[in-house]
Structures are given as structure tokens and as C-alpha cells.
Amino acid sequence: MQNLNISKDMISNLAEQENKKFIRNTNKLVNNIVGSALKDLSEKVSFLTLNKVVLQPANELISGAFIDGSVFVYLLGIQNVQLELNTSRKVSAWKRFKDRIKWSWENRKTFFKKRKRKKKKNKEKNVDIKSESLKFDPSKYTIYDLSDDLQKAIANYLTETSLIYLNRNLLQIVGKDDFGSNTKIYIYVVNYDGSFFKYYNEKKRVFINFNIDERVKHLEEKIQAVGDNFIKILKIFNALYYNTNGNMCNQVFMESILCSCPEDLYFGDDIYKVFVKIMNYLSIKSIKDIRSINDTNLTIFKDEVCGNSIIGFNKMMNKVLNK
């Protein structure tokens, strides 16, 4: 990839890009669809209590630094102790496979009806989730089983042209007729304890805690201290990272880095000059000791919520600085 040709006009345009109406409408639509699906599902899944379910924006939707190329990412937190215990219980991959085969067999009539409808190209909705009777032992029902049921429930509220994929506890929705061209919706179904959204790492058999309140607190403090220039700089860095790497940076990682920059660097009416000051500062600063705004007890390299964006970040810095 060639070096990025940075100009004052380019930086100014990146800082000002926004489509608040599109974001607001998409958020509203996602909330309505997920809310309706959860209401249907709550009538047959005892683990679901609607006032203990939270749909939380999780990426740049929180800060407002949404850019072209951003994905609508949400954490769907389910507060239920038994569901959390079931999810974290060590179960062999072979046993999970057998359980899924058993479930498929027990519900084969439902699936046969769906296949039959598809063959006839019937435009009616899928089998009503309210009348489905899925036979899972409550002691074994996990967040992954709930994600599977939720996929079916959400599908009832999408048009035929939309696609909804499921990868363990991640639902990915793509549908230009429902949401608009190039719009992607990612929903991570996770456990929730009233304070933390808890993503279960199956390999390490531990929960990774997302402290949304702590993250929002740090962002609000920085914005209050330096003004809108913080969001403008975050948009610029998001766009440069995206155009360098072809994907978005982990937002907790990026926000932590920019929150660590001294306040005086953000002051000024010329956003290009502000950008240059921050780039120069970060080009000589060691970021290994920067604290995560998700958990200030950990650095951005120790907090798993920050992901692994350092390689992409360094690549972006090198492209901008023409190294």
C-alpha cells in the first residue's frame, strides 16, 4: 500500500464527516427489531427477563466518532446467573456437538417446515418463535444456545433480502433493504451482571469484562477538558487506520491512546495543526505504558478488551509519517 497523501483539506474533511440522521435511524431500527425478537423469545425462554436485558452500543457509536466504513456494533447483555454459570461450565467440544445433533433431531419437524416453505418460495414469515418448542435442558442452556434462538427470532423481523449469520455468540446482519447499502450490524450476545458486560473466552475459560461506564467516564472527562477537537481527532485517526488496514481499529485501544495525549495538544481552531501536534507527540512517545480506559489497572497491552491493534496502529503511523 502506498503512503497516505495527507493534506490539510483531507484532514479537515475527515474531521467533519458525519451522518447523524442515518446513525440515529439505524440505531432506532436495530433497537426495535432486537426488542421485538426478545419479547417473542422471552415467552419461551425462562432465562430472559426483558428488564434485565441491555442492548449497548460498543464501538465508535459510544464516542460519536462514526465514519464511513464503521460497523454498528452492539453488546446484548443478558443478566441471568444460571445462564452465566451454564456458559462458563467446562463442556467438551464433542459433547456440545452431540447436544446440537440431539436438538436438531428433536426439532427436525420445524426445520422440515422451513425447508418446505423455502422450496415453495412462500413469502410468509418463518415459523413463529412464540409457538416453537425448543427442547433444551435449562441446566445446559448457554449464551450460545440463546444466540442461536435469537437468530431465528430476529429473522422474523427482516425482509427476505437480508442475511443474518451466526458465529458462536456473534450475530451479523447485512441487508440493504432493511438498513441501507453497505450497512453491517454486529451483535455480540454476552452475559451481564448489572455492571459489566461479560464476554466468555472459551479457550482461556475466563470472562472478559467490558466496563462501559468507566470508558464513558474517561471519554466525557477528556471531551469536557478539550472540547469537540477530541472527537474530530478520533474520527481522523479512525479514518486513517481504516484506509491503511482495511478494517476499523479497536476503539478502546484508540480512545485510550488519544485520551493519554496532553490536553494542551488539543487546543486550537485549526484541526490540521492540532492533528500535526498529536502525530508528532505520538511519534516519539512510547505507548507501552498507556492505561486502558476500560480498566486503568491494566495497560492497553494487558487489557484484552483493547484487542490487538498495535500492528495496524504502527502501520498507520508509518504511512502518515512516510517512514
What's the CA dihedral at 94, 97, 102, 104 to 10 degrees? -170
User: Comparing 62-76, 90-104, 155-169, 309-323, which segment has the lowest mean pLDDT?
Assistant: 90-104
Provide the residue range defining the domain that includes 68.
20-210
User: Comparing 82-86, 89-93, 136-140, 302-306, which segment has the lowest mean pLDDT?
Assistant: 89-93
Do 193 and 58 fall into the same domain? Answer: yes
Phi/psi at 133 (5° precision): -120, 95
Do 250 and 277 fall into the same domain? Answer: yes
Do 52 and 179 fall into the same domain? Answer: yes
Do 234 and 180 fall into the same domain? Answer: no
| Confidence tier at 114 by pLDDT (50, 70, 90) | very low
Structural domain count, the chain: 2
CATH of residue 151's domain is 3.30.460
Do 201 and 229 fall into the same domain? Answer: no
pLDDT score recorded for residue 224 = 97
> How many residues belong to the chain?
323
Do 50 and 174 fall into the same domain? Answer: yes
pLDDT score recorded for residue 67 = 92
pLDDT score recorded for residue 250 = 96
Does the pLDDT at position 101 exceed 80? no
Where is pLDDT greater, at 183 or 139? 183
Judge whether 1 lies within some domain. no
At 156-175, the pLDDT tens digits run 999 988 999 999 999 999 98
pLDDT score recorded for residue 89 = 81
Kind of pairing between the strands at 72-78 and 184-192: parallel
Do 291 and 253 fall into the same domain? Answer: yes
Domain boundary among 183, 210, 237: 210
pLDDT score recorded for residue 97 = 59
Judge whether 15 lies within some domain. no
Average pLDDT over residues 21-49: 93
In angstroms, how far is the first alpha carbon of the chain from the final one? 13
| Confidence tier at 3 by pLDDT (50, 70, 90) | low
Do 37 and 178 fall into the same domain? Answer: yes
Domain boundary among 210, 243, 272: 210
Judge whether 306 lies within some domain. yes
Average pLDDT over residues 258-264: 97
Do 292 and 177 fall into the same domain? Answer: no
Judge whether 25 lies within some domain. yes
Which cell numbers in the block locate residue 112? 422440515
Judge whether 26 lies within some domain. yes
Does the pLDDT at position 132 exceed 70? no
Does the pLDDT at position 113 exceed 80? no
Which cell numbers in the block locate residue 38? 426478545
Neighbours of 93 (CB within 10 A): 8
pLDDT score recorded for residue 239 = 95
Contacts of 151 (CB under 8 A, 6+ apart): 164, 166, 171
Phi/psi at 50 (5° precision): -60, -35
Domain boundary among 160, 184, 210: 210
Phi/psi at 143 (5° precision): -60, -25
Judge whether 203 lies within some domain. yes
pLDDT score recorded for residue 94 = 54
Dihedral sign, Cα of residue 311, residue 6, residue 65, residue 71: negative
Measured in whole angstroms, how far is the alpha carbon of residue 321 from the centre of its chain? 30
> Looking at residue 61, what DSSP letter applies?
H
User: Comparing 119-123, 166-170, 292-296, which segment has the lowest mean pLDDT?
Assistant: 119-123
Rg of the chain in Å (alpha carbons): 22
Do 59 and 202 fall into the same domain? Answer: yes
Which residue in 213, 195, 207, 218 sits closest to 291, CA to CA? 218
What is the rounded distance in angstroms from the CA atom of residue 314 to the CA atom of residue 323? Answer: 10
Does the pLDDT at position 278 exceed 80? yes
CB 30 within 8 A of CB 23: no
Do 78 and 145 fall into the same domain? Answer: yes
Q: What is the DSSP string of 202-250?
A: TTTTEEEEE-HHHHHHHHHHHHHHHTTHHHHHHHHHHHHHHHHHSSPPP
What is the rounded distance in angstroms from the CA atom of residue 280 to the CA atom of residue 302? Answer: 25
Judge whether 270 lies within some domain. yes
Do 56 and 132 fall into the same domain? Answer: yes
Average pLDDT over residues 221-225: 97
What's the CA dihedral at 279, 281, 286, 292 to 10 degrees? -80
Judge whether 112 lies within some domain. yes
| Confidence tier at 44 by pLDDT (50, 70, 90) | confident
> Looking at residue 322, what DSSP letter applies?
T
Does the pLDDT at position 243 exceed 80? yes
- Mean pLDDT (the chain) is 87
Does the pLDDT at position 66 exceed 70? yes
User: Comparing 61-75, 94-108, 111-125, 168-182, which segment has the lowest mean pLDDT?
Assistant: 111-125
